[in-house]
Structure 1
């Protein structure tokens, strides 16, 4: 019996290749330039990004009613995306916590990716309450800070203030 092949499973590499040939096959996508398929996908992605920037700019200029957000509809583009990105952040935290809980020795690189995913997702989630304000240049009104305007203070019962505290707390804890 040959020691080269396992009797328990099929070989992963077919064609009787040497280690140098396998290395060339694995490294070829990294050493060659992007393909036509990659460039077409990149151009489509950039076009969708530009469309999104134009849409958010239009929304900021005309108001949050462009989403169909009115007195009877309270859940629109911004709140659903906020919840989505918070969920993605929780997934990164969960992946990191499970690997830490089971004390996996190989978890380091996956934990870094999961924690980076959490931090980036929380930053993305933080954008949507700002967009929900309708006037994002007044974002500091949702943050409690000392001011000299007398009785003007934030509404502590406002969900936007809760979002501010939740995002800042989650972001701070994720960084630590």
Structure 2
């Protein structure tokens, strides 16, 4: 399976101090957000590919500060993570999405977000589509709306299961 992570999911993975998103069910910060993302990565099949679009990488690296190079090196050590560029094919895909939206009478495709964010979201979705991604992990509702409109499944961090924590009922001593 080929999946994409957006900046909200990737930030939780690479930055232990990242602020978790708010859980829509409670309005409070999501509990065990990092653990949920780590469990997701662990539970994906060994032959799964996790795509990090370059616009996502750029956003996460801005927040990484001095750890910028270490974050890139860490991702490059895991072959399941593949950094994918906004290339010519993705540019064509983005243009086609924008042309369709303009023809429908709203270049932002119904989004209330600033135009620059809409363009970046489309680039991320175009990278996902041109790399045959089936799913994107994102807490960004604007991005999620675009992804669903393009036939890509979206999973938010609050929808991820908690990892099963196994504890011993009784301490066992020899």
More strand per residue: 2
More helix per residue: 1
Work out which of the two has the higher radius of gyration on C-alpha atoms and give 1 or 2. Answer: 1
